[in-house]
Structure 1
Amino acid sequence: MPTRKRRAGGEKREAVLDAVAAVLASRGYENTRFADVSAAGGVAISTLQTYFGSREDMIIEAMQVFTDREVDALRAVSASETDPWRRLVALVDRSLHNSERTRQILVEFWRSAMRDDELRDYSATVQERYRAPFLAAVREGVARGVFTPAHDAEAVTNLLLAALAGLIVSRVQQHPTPAPVEFRDVLLTQLRQMLGVDDSEPTTEGIEAR
């Protein structure tokens, strides 16, 4: 469990954490300083030190809060759709259409977790929570007889999330990548095959390329 969070700040602290996230997305972990956040958030450096203690704790708490928000967003998407296939499609779309800032912060979170023991432990918890709605949709589809997968639900979910994470990394690094809509078409085709889903199931609602 994370141990860095402090009580000082209240609502103002939340606004400061948003400023930290914005600086982190544009400058990266190593180049996010108290001075940068002070300028971006309009708060004194001394206040930042009171809130967080150290630069590292400030950045790590911002990443923790941000990733919690992403997990909560996936849960909301999952709760809005009762059909397992449509739910999976909605979860894929949420992941594919994240903002550039979201993608940058996620990659910084993964990078930082490689070197920080506390954050690494927290990242394992986040991964399980992030994965849960995808896995639940696959398992529910199997239980209902809607999905007839050749592999177990764990393996299907792992492959799906690996594909989504790989695209995030490539887009952040500005490698040549397919447009989200093109990637989505291929991914959903493969997912249909893995799950044995009827081709008549719709997959085109609410799609926007970004």
Structure 2
Amino acid sequence: MSEMSSRRPRRAGGSRRTLVLDEVVSVIADRGYAGTRFIDVSEASGVAVSTLQGYFGSREDMLIEALGRATSVAVGAMNELAAQFDDPWQQLVAMVDRGLSTPVVTWRMLMEFWTAAAHDAELQEHAAALAQQYRKPFADAIGRGVESGAFTLRVETAAIVEVVVASIVGLLYPVVLDHLAAQDTDYRDVVLAQLSFALGTRADDTSGSQPGSFTQES
């Protein structure tokens, strides 16, 4: 086990610590991973630098824990959404819509998270685990559709899931860099058409798949 992956978060701060971690994420999204300091978080949260040091120890530990929490929350929200649907196609459409409507601040945070993970063994491990968790409800929905006879796959499930997730994540940089706005494209319709083709079904014959626009919150 690497030195990074042996790191353990401190537990000081209780519920206030959770609120501070949310502030850390906001600061990271605004200033970037490398540019976020204790003083920046202190100014945003109203918590003294000395208290932050007591909560987290080092600046790096604070940033890693905040990014880990934020990405875990995002994955948890997707799983909660998936659990609300019995129909596999409606579930897939809802998850695609949820992914494409990711707020810009969350995209920024994810950009910082993946950039940091490229240089940190602990974050790499966390990113790999979250990637599996994020993909699972997509794979489960496809599996249920196959079992019910609603889907007749043209390619294997793993490939379909990877392409769908890549299509969602592909919006990150153009949206964050303000090169693309939701109203400028029929991106959602293309993603769903591509998905329905791979599943061997027709999106226009399946409920919950009518063309529509998605919006990102700034």
Is the pair's TM-score, using the shorter chain for normalization, greater than 0.5?
yes
Match of 1:126 among 119, 123, 130: 130
Structure 1 residues 181, 11: closer, same or farther in 2, change over 3 A? farther
Structure 1 residues 163, 2: closer, same or farther in 2, change over 3 A? farther
Cα deviation for residue 24 of structure 1 reads 0.5
1:193 aligned counterpart, secondary structure? helix
In 2: Cα distance, 1:93 partner to 1:142 partner: 22
Structure 2 residue aligned with 1:201: 206
* 1:19–1:37 Cα contact (<8 Å) kept: yes
Structure 2 residue aligned with 1:60: 64
In 2: Cα distance, 1:73 partner to 1:206 partner: 22
Cα deviation for residue 178 of structure 1 reads 5.5
Cα deviation for residue 176 of structure 1 reads 3.9
The gaps in structure 2 that reach 5 residues or longer are none
2:86 aligned counterpart, secondary structure? coil
Aligned pairs for 1:70-89 within 5 A = 70-89=74-93
The gaps in structure 1 that reach 5 residues or longer are none
Deviations 1:72-91 (A, max 9, x none): 10111110001000000000
Cα deviation for residue 207 of structure 1 reads 6.0
Structure 1 residues 99, 185: closer, same or farther in 2, change over 3 A? same
Identity %: 43
Aligned pairs for 1:100-179 within 5 A = 100-176=104-180, 179=183
Cα deviation for residue 201 of structure 1 reads 1.0
In 2: Cα distance, 1:180 partner to 1:201 partner: 26
Structure 1 residues 180, 126: closer, same or farther in 2, change over 3 A? farther
1:175 aligned counterpart, secondary structure? coil
Cα deviation for residue 56 of structure 1 reads 0.9
* 1:97–1:180 Cα contact (<8 Å) kept: no
In 2: Cα distance, 1:28 partner to 1:43 partner: 20
Deviations 1:25-76 (A, max 9, x none): 1110010000000000000000110111111110110010001111110111
Structure 1 residues 33, 77: closer, same or farther in 2, change over 3 A? same
Match of 2:16 among 12, 23, 28: 12
Structure 1 residues 125, 180: closer, same or farther in 2, change over 3 A? farther
Cα deviation for residue 173 of structure 1 reads 2.6
In 1: Cα distance, 2:173 partner to 2:142 partner: 25
In 2: Cα distance, 1:11 partner to 1:180 partner: 41
Cα deviation for residue 172 of structure 1 reads 1.5
Runs of 4+ in structure 1 over 4 Å off: 205-208
- Of 168-177 and 38-47, deviating more is 168-177
2:43 aligned counterpart, secondary structure? helix
* 1:21–1:105 Cα contact (<8 Å) kept: yes
Cα deviation for residue 3 of structure 1 reads 3.5
Aligned pairs for 1:88-99 within 5 A = 88-99=92-103
Cα deviation for residue 175 of structure 1 reads 2.7
Structure 1 residues 137, 180: closer, same or farther in 2, change over 3 A? farther
TM-score norm. by structure 1 comes to 0.94
1:143 aligned counterpart, secondary structure? helix
In 2: Cα distance, 1:104 partner to 1:8 partner: 28
* 1:35–1:45 Cα contact (<8 Å) kept: yes
